[in-house]
């Protein structure tokens, strides 16, 4: 039994891990529960750094950059982060739990039954993504200074579709922002190749236009 499996049902700070729903080379994603007053329980998602990476100062700072950025964002089409912390040496973010599928999973489900997305549905999804990006690109900090945020990874796995039909952007882990302490290393490609703007692929400077390119790539894929 893996270490993560042994933790299911055991308190993780003020949270209780219920199910591991994703994992990668850098972190794990859990469906979890937060205990509130008067027996109130709130479903959340915990994004946790893998133990060996918690000892990498540069990686931890990059992870905390994501948390610092996302706690400042407040928009109906951006998944909110409401807690950033460390428990027993493991750094984590706590964010809203959205019941639904990401756009990659939804697209796979449609292909499974040989059904195409209606153009009107694609337009609706892209409208919500565009509203979120307009907010993100124009965000200012508490002092009124532009935050200069670029997501840099607009792609189906980072677009959640709720059962209510809402679309929310997630994962600002490779976002670029003025407030970041740690920037990507020169020459390092970040993002998913099929959705990256030419300037990202060639190692140039990304901008809000890079995200707009990603929106177009996603729309093209869904429509074709």
Read off the pLDDT of residues 32-80 as tens digits, 9 standing for 90 and up. 999 877 778 899 999 998 888 888 888 888 888 888 888 889 999 999 9
Q: Does residue 30 contact residue 41 with C-beta atoms inside 8 Å? A: no
Cβ–Cβ contacts within 10 Å for residue 127, how many?
12
Alpha carbon distance 20, 59 (integer Å) = 22
Positions marked active-site: 153
Give mean pLDDT, residues 79-101: 91
The pLDDT value given to residue 64: 85
| Torsion on CA atoms 145, 73, 124, 195, rounded to nearest 10 | 80
Give mean pLDDT, residues 1-7: 58
DSSP-derived 3-state class of residue 82: strand
Q: Does residue 54 contact residue 41 with C-beta atoms inside 8 Å? A: no
> What pTM, to 2 d.p., does this model score?
0.84
The CA-CA-CA angle for residues 93, 148, 167, to 5°, reads 55
pLDDT in tens, 159-189: 999 999 999 998 887 677 765 544 554 445 5
């Amino acid at each position: 039994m893996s270490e993560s499996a042994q933790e299911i049902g055991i308190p993780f700070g003020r949270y209780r891990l219920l199910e591991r729903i994703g994992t990668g080379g850098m972190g794990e994603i859990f469906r979890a529960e937060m205990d509130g007053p008067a027996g109130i329980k709130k479903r959340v998602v915990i994004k946790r750094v893998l133990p060996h990476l918690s000892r990498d100062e540069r990686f931890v700072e990059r992870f905390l950059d994501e948390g610092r950025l996302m706690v400042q964002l407040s928009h109906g089409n951006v998944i909110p982060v409401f807690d950033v912390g460390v428990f027993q040496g493991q750094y984590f973010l706590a964010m809203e739990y959205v019941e639904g599928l990401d756009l990659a999973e939804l697209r796979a489900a449609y292909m499974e039954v040989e059904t195409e997305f209606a153009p009107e549905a694609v337009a609706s999804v892209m409208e919500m993504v565009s509203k979120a990006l307009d907010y993100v690109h124009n965000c200012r900090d508490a002092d009124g200074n532009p935050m200069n945020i670029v997501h840099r990874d607009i792609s189906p796995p980072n677009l959640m579709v709720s059962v209510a039909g809402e679309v929310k952007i997630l994962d600002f882990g490779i976002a670029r922002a003025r407030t970041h302490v740690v920037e990507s290393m020169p020459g390092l490609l970040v993002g998913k190749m099929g959705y990256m703007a030419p300037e990202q692929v060639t190692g140039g400077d990304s901008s809000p236009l890079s995200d707009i390119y990603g929106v177009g790539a996603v729309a093209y894929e869904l429509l074709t």
